[in-house]
Amino acid sequence: MPKKKQADEVCAPPGTVPTGLAADEADRACLLCGGRMYLAKEFRVHVCLNKDHGVLAYYSLDECYFTSQEKVAVRLAKDGKKFHMIEPSVLEMIGVEP
């Protein structure tokens, strides 16, 4: 049976979080366009609103992405990333273009 990884070993990919900085407070580049993601500290979510790929959110506590775009979901799956699909209508209800 594999040994359980320590919490600090699975927190973030190597080199993405400066030493001494919580994973959810570090600057994060968008996985899709490379732009800087906005950090909503109260929700611990990084968000990119680039219209070329639609809304992409990253929840740092469980290292999971959120998207409403099928093509983005396919890429995340191919890259082995955890993700959830958001219905475009949910984003529209809060005034965000999917």
The four Cα atoms 68, 71, 74, 78 give a dihedral, to 10 degrees, of -130
Under 8 Å between Cβ of 67 and 55: yes
Q: How far apart are the first and last CA of the chain?
A: 42
Which residue reads 């973030």 in tokens? 12
Q: Where are the domains of the chain?
A: 29-93
Q: What is the pLDDT of residue 24?
A: 56
State pTM to two decimals: 0.69
> Which pLDDT score is estimated for 26?
72
* Tens of each residue's pLDDT in the chain, 98 residues: 444 444 344 444 444 444 444 555 678 999 999 999 999 888 889 999 999 999 999 998 888 999 999 999 999 999 999 999 999 888 888 777 77
Q: Order across the sheet with 64-67: list the strands.
A: 38-40, 45-48, 56-59, 64-67, 82-85
In this prediction, residue 31 carries a pLDDT of: 92
